[in-house]
A and B are shown apart, each in its own frame.
Chain A
Amino acid sequence: MDDLSLDVEEGTVLSVLGPNGAGKTTTVRILATLLNPDSGQASVGGIDVIRNPEKVREIIGLSGQYAAVDETLTGWDNLVMFGRLYHLGKQASINRANELLERFSLTDSARRPIKTYSGGMRRRLDLAASLIVKPKVLFLDEPTTGLDPRGRQEMWGVIEELVKDGVTLLLTTQYLEEADQLADEIAVIDHGKVIARGTSDVLKKQVGGERLEVVVESQQIQATMEIVSKVSGNKASLDDALRQVSAPVSTGVSALIEVLRELDASGIHPLDVGLKRPSLDDVFMSLTGHVAEEGEQS
């Protein structure tokens, strides 16, 4: 990592977004007291992670990229074990395990070994294990990497619930969509450096305004290009496969109306038309000059 600096407001969600090897996991490992930084400082809940790691461990929950639970044991065994390790006492550990299994819809599989769980179930159990003592600060390191779309949706639902309960969350992800969906603020990191930070709206603005997109029949593409270029003042670009003509616009809806009017006057009936704000993919592209791709492993 290189001069990386972050802070998270209590009770909010910060998403650390970046490709593989950008330094996301290293950041989380330092904050979760698993790794000592060579230099610099870090504190969690006001407690210094280097000087007081034991105190930090009492208020954090960590759920990593790999479902770190004992796969030979059942879901219930695991949660009770972690409860005991948080010094909850026997009965309290059992109660808390049952409560969490219920909350994460795992009650039916509670008595089955984790080995038999699906990827999504494992992640939910892993997350449950990090919530045993209601942590003040929760670290989720790529919570949906490797999950299928359904598993990802379920996980997002669970995380959104947690956020409503007011936990402070630091979430790392390589999915731009995930950061957009879950985070109050996004820090984009690349090669161990924060290269941009702000709400998803601010980041999108930083990249530039909206784009006007029109989809038409093939034979009308040429005429449409001319109209869109004229209204936009910039040269329109074409996506051949989608038959989509697009160009940046600064006047938003009035540009849209103007294009529609001109198209109508030329007898062109668009198949689809819309104003699109830039996606986080676009943000990443414009910030780093390359698409969000895998870097070298950290």
Chain B
Amino acid sequence: MKNAISDALVITKRQLLQLARVPEVLLFSTIQPVMFVLLFRYVFGGSISTGQPGGYVQLLMPGIFVQTVAFTLAATASGLAEDMGKGLIDRFRSLPISRSALVVGRTLGDSLLNIVVLAVMGTAGYVVGWRPTSGLPKVLLAFLFLLLFGYALSWTGIFAGLSARDARVVQNMSFMITFPMTFLSNAFAPTTGMPRALQYVAEWNPVSTMVAACRELFGVKNQFGVTAGSFPSTHPLVMSLIYMVVIMVIFIPLSVRKYINSSK
């Protein structure tokens, strides 16, 4: 057990070293979300009336936090697919290390990366007028919650990466899934403007329950369309936790098994 943890930490350290050796990666993975903050804040901010004190940016920030955390799974997936293609996974598998070390180490590294990215974005948000009104403990709880969501999602990235044949393919595929997932939600625009059928999809979407939960924790009122009064709308935090547990219960064993049986 002690070895399992220290093996995983060696893998996490590898990921941090990679960032240190190619700092551009970290730079771009923080610039992109900051760009989203600025674009949405100033392009849509003026035309979406929110009825919220503080304006659109209060609604926007939780949405962008969730989106950014969701997008990191593409990097996880392509990183693993690349290791696989280069034969690095084979080498790790021929070492006398714990069978879960590689994948657990990677998910821990992703979480550390998310901490940095969320901190940068939070700062950028503050600069353009984001002011959570709920007090520090709730704000920190929201960030913890975002990290947990990122952790759960990174297991789906691991599974996708180990199942893929090519790093570029899996990266594009991840975006093909995460992009509509994050936009077909309440993250950037209220779901109430969507066609009725879409409202169901959007409001049950885990991205929406996450965003709603964060908004609640930041002290922002949520708006619901057709599902108003249903469980995800009244308990977005609990619903999000259920989603995370389900994701992990499915993808952790799948990923570990995939890793153990992986052969190029």
Contact = CB atoms under 8 A, between A and B. Distances in A.
23 contacts: A32-B94, A33-B93, A33-B94, A34-B90, A34-B93, A35-B263, A54-B96, A57-B95, A62-B94, A64-B91, A66-B86, A67-B86, A68-B91, A70-B14, A70-B18, A70-B88, A77-B21, A81-B13, A81-B17, A82-B95, A84-B10, A86-B96, A87-B3
User: Which 4 A-B pairs rank lowest in CB-CB distance, beginning with the nearest?
Assistant: A68-B87, A66-B87, A68-B91, A57-B96
Contacts of A77: 14, 17, 21
Contacts of B101: 85
Contacts of A65: 87
Interface of B: 3, 6-7, 10, 13-14, 17-18, 21-22, 86-88, 90-97, 101, 263
Interface string A36-52: 00000000000000000
Nearest to A77: B17
B10 A72 contact: no
A35 B90 CA distance: 10
A221 interface: no
A86 B95 contact: yes
A29 B3 contact: no
B90 A64 contact: yes
Give the bracket for the number of chain A residues in contact with chain B: 20 to 34
Interface string A63-98: 011111111111001000110111100000000000
B94 A57 contact: yes
Contact of A29 (B6, B17, B18, B263): B263
Contacts of B92: 85
B173 to A, nearest CB: 23
A58 B90 contact: no
Contacts of B88: 68-70
A60 B96 CA distance: 9
A73 B17 CA distance: 7
Contacts of A62: 90-91, 94
A113 interface: yes
A283 interface: no
Nearest to A54: B96
A71 B18 CA distance: 9
B263 A34 contact: yes
A85 B93 contact: no
B113 to A, nearest CB: 15
Contacts of A70: 14, 18, 88
B91 A81 contact: no
A95 B239 CA distance: 51
A129 interface: yes
Contact of A85 (B17, B95, B263): B95
B263 A68 contact: no
Given A60-B94, A85-B7, 7 more contacts: A29-B263, A66-B87, A68-B86, A68-B88, A68-B90, A70-B18, A85-B10
Contact of B97 (A29, A35, A85): A85
A113 B18 CA distance: 10
Specify which of B90, B91, B93 lies most central, judged by the most chain A CB atoms within 10 Å of its CB.
B91
Contacts of B95: 57, 82, 85-86
Nearest to B3: A87
B22 to A, nearest CB: 6
Interface in A83-137: 84-87, 113, 129
A96 to B, nearest CB: 14
Contacts of A60: 94
A58 B95 CA distance: 7
Contact of A71 (B10, B86, B93): B86
